[in-house]
């Protein structure tokens, strides 16, 4: 006779297989050419309209890890907005120190107006884009003291990609690697 722990372990394994997709989920926006791949264990919702982006797509964890904060279904949202043609001369210009300093200053000025208090901000090392990671906490809302917001902002000549992930303050250290995999799964259009 099988031991109870073996039966429970087998049941848990079957349950994990049934809720976890076998491969990564992918999305490509036919209008902009932007694409996103998220790892196994996540699904992508249909794109939605957003005033500040060409589109916004929600990333949902099938396992509940990292946990969402509040009553949200999605742990992250990824958006892209195309820059006006010719508004940025080159990627080298975006990557240059004066442009990065201006970007950092703009971020620091903007977040408080969006109800976020920046806690940590660091440049993302990349030649492909000028980018920053920001961890902030909301200044308002239910249980806001226990919420952390991870934001990645990445500028390329063609446009800006934003990755916004919201989790509990306690879960943030373990969620960092997952949020970075989602960030690194973004691919802007070629032109």
H-run or E-run covering 92: helix 91-95
Ordered by where they begin, the domains of the chain are 20-187 (3.40.1000.10)
SS3 state of residue 51? coil
Please give the average per-residue pLDDT across 70-87, as a whole number: 91
- pTM, whole model, 2 decimals? 0.84
- Spatial separation of the C-alpha atoms in residues 33 and 167, rounded to whole Å: 29
For every residue of 106-160, which 3-state class applies, written as one string?
A: HHHHHHHHCCEEEEEEEECCCCCCEEEEEEEEECCCCCHHHEEEEEEEEEECCEE
At 96-143, the pLDDT tens digits run 999 999 999 999 999 999 999 999 999 999 999 999 999 999 998 888
Q: Which position has the token pair 């902002």? A: 153
Comparing CA positions, the residue from 166, 159, 162, 177 lying closest to residue 138 is: 166
At 53-73, the pLDDT tens digits run 998 999 999 999 999 987 889
Please give the average per-residue pLDDT across 142-156, as a whole number: 93
Cβ–Cβ under 8 Å, residues 41 and 63? yes
Residue 25 has pLDDT above 70, yes or no: yes
Q: Which of 15-24, 32-41, 61-70, 81-90 has the lowest mean pLDDT?
A: 15-24
Sign of the dihedral through C-alpha 127, 103, 45, 69: positive
pLDDT confidence bin for 14, thresholds 50/70/90: very low
């Amino acid at each position: 006779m099988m031991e109870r722990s073996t039966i429970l372990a087998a049941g848990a394994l079957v349950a994990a297989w049934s809720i976890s997709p076998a491969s990564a989920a992918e999305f490509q926006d036919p209008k902009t050419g932007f694409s996103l791949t998220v790892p196994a264990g996540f699904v992508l919702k249909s794109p939605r309209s957003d005033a500040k982006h060409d589109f916004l797509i929600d990333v949902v964890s099938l396992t509940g890890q990292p946990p969402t904060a509040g009553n949200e279904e999605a742990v992250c949202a990824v958006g892209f907005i195309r820059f006006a043609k010719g508004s940025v001369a080159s990627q080298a210009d975006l990557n240059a120190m004066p442009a990065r300093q201006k970007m950092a200053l703009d971020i620091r000025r903007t977040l408080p107006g969006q109800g976020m208090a920046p806690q940590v901000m660091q440049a993302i090392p990349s030649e492909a884009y000028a980018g920053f990671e920001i961890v902030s906490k909301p200044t308002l809302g239910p249980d806001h003291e226990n919420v952390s917001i991870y934001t990645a902002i990445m500028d390329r000549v063609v446009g800006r990609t934003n990755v916004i992930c919201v989790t509990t303050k306690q879960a943030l250290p373990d969620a960092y690697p997952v949020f970075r995999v989602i960030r690194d799964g973004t691919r802007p259009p070629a032109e």
